[in-house]
């Protein structure tokens, strides 16, 4: 139906007749592929940032419970190398992941805490983030 005919129908109090578009399998596949590609591109940057912030938040949140002493200069260098200078959400997420890790120690069994702290200490040593 031509757009002017739709306006006339609407003015006369008649709702416009909508035509159904038959979607083929290839049309649906193209839409899904386009959505997936655009979503994957958007999440590629997010995954990297969330991975970095989650990992550092786990280390920071484990500092006192695991008896690790972190080097603030090394932490600054790690952030400079792994976090985009344009990432304005990093600090909010870092605080959240750090607090979540700190609180999680209340519910850890002694064995889980030992395993967690063993790996945290290994990571801190390997990345030279402290001792």
Domain borders along the chain are 3-127
Closest CA to 62 of 29, 105, 25: 105
pLDDT of residue 51: 87
N- to C-terminal Cα distance for the chain? 74
Tally: H helices and E strands in the chain: 5, 0
Can you list the residues of the chain whose pLDDT is less than 70?
1-48
CA distances from 47 to 30, 53, 66, 77, 101 (A): 25, 10, 27, 21, 19
pLDDT of residue 7: 52
pLDDT of residue 39: 45
pLDDT of residue 88: 87
């Amino acid at each position: 139906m031509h757009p002017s005919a739709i306006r006339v129908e609407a003015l006369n109090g008649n709702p416009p007749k909508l035509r159904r578009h038959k979607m083929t399998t290839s049309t649906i596949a193209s839409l899904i592929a386009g959505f997936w590609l655009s979503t994957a591109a958007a999440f590629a940057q997010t995954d990297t940032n969330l991975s970095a912030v989650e990992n550092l938040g786990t280390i920071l949140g484990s500092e006192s419970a695991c008896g690790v002493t972190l080097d603030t200069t090394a932490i600054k260098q790690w952030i400079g190398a792994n976090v985009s200078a344009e990432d304005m959400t990093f600090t909010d997420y870092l605080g959240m992941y750090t607090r979540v890790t700190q609180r999680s120690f209340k519910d850890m069994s002694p064995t889980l805490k030992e395993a967690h702290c063993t790996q945290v200490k290994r990571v801190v040593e390997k990345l030279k983030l402290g001792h």
